[in-house]
Amino acid sequence: MVVPFAFNSPNHASSNFGAGDIELGFKYQFTSQKRWIPAIATFPLMEIPSGKASKGLGNGKPQYFIPIWLEEDFGHWTVYGGGGYWFNKGRGNKNFDFTGILVQYNFSDEAFLGMELFHHTPDAVGAQYRTGLHFGGGFPVYHHIQLLFSGDAGNGITSYKHFSYYIGLHYVFGG
């Protein structure tokens, strides 16, 4: 479950911040890694329209994502990726495909750095295909709590023409 605090600062308009759309999902792993055979899993999720769409803090309608992911570990390195289909309801929105691959270096079970290359088809009427490059990581801050962070490459490297960043706290239940 992800409960976001959203921020929107459009050109030539006032900035808005507040609750974003809540994300609910679960992971189901079909296979485990076995000698050059990757783990295969799905992570279906639903975005609950809890953010104010009129202020750019949410979609305004529920969204659903049905993906298939593959993962392989090589010592301290992890490579995973895959793709899926977004059901993107709402006025002016379009359903779209999403694919991506991530390469990550694991310093420990709780500390890592990585980068992700992703691509998705248009998600709205008149929108373009998008390709982006994100960098990020995580590290422990207290017992079962991690600080997660990511940012994109911004203009110039890929077709994703805006700057975005993410900072979050991740609580690991159990373990």
**What are the tens digits of pLDDT across the range 69-80?**
999 999 999 999
The whole-number pLDDT of residue 130 equals 85
Whether 167 is covered by a domain: the verdict is no
Whether 97 is covered by a domain: the verdict is yes
Rounded mean pLDDT of 62-67? 96
Q: What is the pLDDT of residues 108-130, one digit of tens each?
A: 988 999 999 999 999 999 988 88
How would you write the chain as a 3-class SS string?
Answer: CECCEEEECCCCCCCEEEECCEEEECCEEEECCECCECEEEECCEEEECCCCHHHCCCCCCCEEEEEEEEEEEECCEEEEEEEEEEEECCCCECCEEEEEEEEEEECCCCCEEEEEEEEECCCECCCCCEEEEEEEEEEEEECCEEEEEEEECCECCECCCCCCEEEEEEECCCC
- On whether the CB atoms of residues 132 and 150 are closer than 8 A, the answer is no
Rounded to a whole number of angstroms, the distance between the first and last alpha carbons of the chain is 18
Whether 159 is covered by a domain: the verdict is no
Whether 142 is covered by a domain: the verdict is no
Whether 23 is covered by a domain: the verdict is yes
Rounded mean pLDDT of 141-152? 90
Give the range of the structural domain holding residue 78, as residue numbers without chain letter. 5-136
Whether 170 is covered by a domain: the verdict is no
Whether 33 is covered by a domain: the verdict is yes
Rounded Cα–Cα distance for residues 98 and 101 (Å): 11
Q: What is the pLDDT of residues 32-47, one digit of tens each?
A: 999 888 999 999 999 9
Report the Cα 76 to chain-centroid distance in Å: 22
Given a cut of 60, whether residue 175 has pLDDT beyond it is no
Determine which of 2-11, 26-35, 40-49, 151-160 has the lowest per-residue pLDDT on average.
Answer: 151-160
Instruction: Count up the domains in the chain and report the number.
Output: 1
The whole-number pLDDT of residue 86 equals 96
Cβ within 8 Å of residue 82, ≥6 positions away: 67, 68, 69, 70, 99, 100
Whether 164 is covered by a domain: the verdict is no
Given a cut of 90, whether residue 172 has pLDDT beyond it is no
